[in-house]
A = this chain, B = another copy of it.
């Protein structure tokens, strides 16, 4: 009777520490600001050592950004799961909605994180760095869907970039409205702007 499920005790302990760490970090960072809070302060609140913090997160920025990072992978997965016949604008809209929907659902927590990221240059930089990775993944998947060569065609990269642009714009407006704006409506509005380029099929006959 070593383990009831596949998850061992050690694994649950690991998750517990990670949660405790992110909890303490977000609490402090959102309250006092990113650059005035030190890692020692965070680990003091969480009750672990500084070394342990960096075993869970690659950097001080990561503890915030990783909150949004998983959403990015969900986004790429959603694009891959969309039906083959769907137009790029529709498929990308659904993909981008995955993380945005998460934000809308857990608006209490998510809003604070998003505002913190968008208002802190260092966090914004790391966030954009992650997005660059998402863009490459989206572009690869998009090239596969449309039967294009991502190495020679510019469309996949540009289309993925446009979708992420819409994502950013929605996030920004949602953040600056303190969560009162409707993410779904904003997303529709943004995709209405970029759809003409996403769906133009002037290339490849």
List residues of chain A with CB under 8 Å of any chain B CB.
121, 124-126, 128-129, 132, 154-155, 157-159, 161-162, 165-166, 168-169, 172-173, 186, 189-190, 192-198, 200, 202-203
In the complex the two chains form, is A194's CB within 8 Å of B158's CB?
Answer: yes
Q: Which residue of B is nearest A200, CB measured?
A: B196
Q: How far is A169 from B155 in the complex, measured between Cα atoms in Å?
A: 10
A129 and B197 CA atoms in complex are apart in Å by 25
| Bound-complex Cα distance A166 to B200 (A) | 16
A92 to chain B, nearest CB (A): 13
Q: Verify A154–B186 contact, CB threshold 8 A.
A: yes
Chain B residues with Cβ below 8 Å from A132 are 124, 128
Copies in the complex: 2
| A194 adjacent to B162 (CB under 8 Å) | yes
Q: How far is the CB of A59 from chain B (nearest CB, A)?
A: 10
A-B contact pairs, 11 of them (CB 8 A): A128-B129, A128-B132, A154-B186, A157-B172, A158-B190, A159-B193, A161-B161, A162-B197, A165-B165, A193-B197, A196-B200
**CB of A197, distance to nearest CB on chain B (Å):** 4
Q: A121-B129, A125-B128, A196-B197 are in contact. List 15 more A-B contacts (CB 8 A).
A: A124-B132, A125-B126, A128-B128, A155-B193, A157-B169, A157-B172, A158-B162, A158-B169, A158-B193, A161-B162, A162-B162, A165-B165, A193-B197, A196-B196, A197-B197
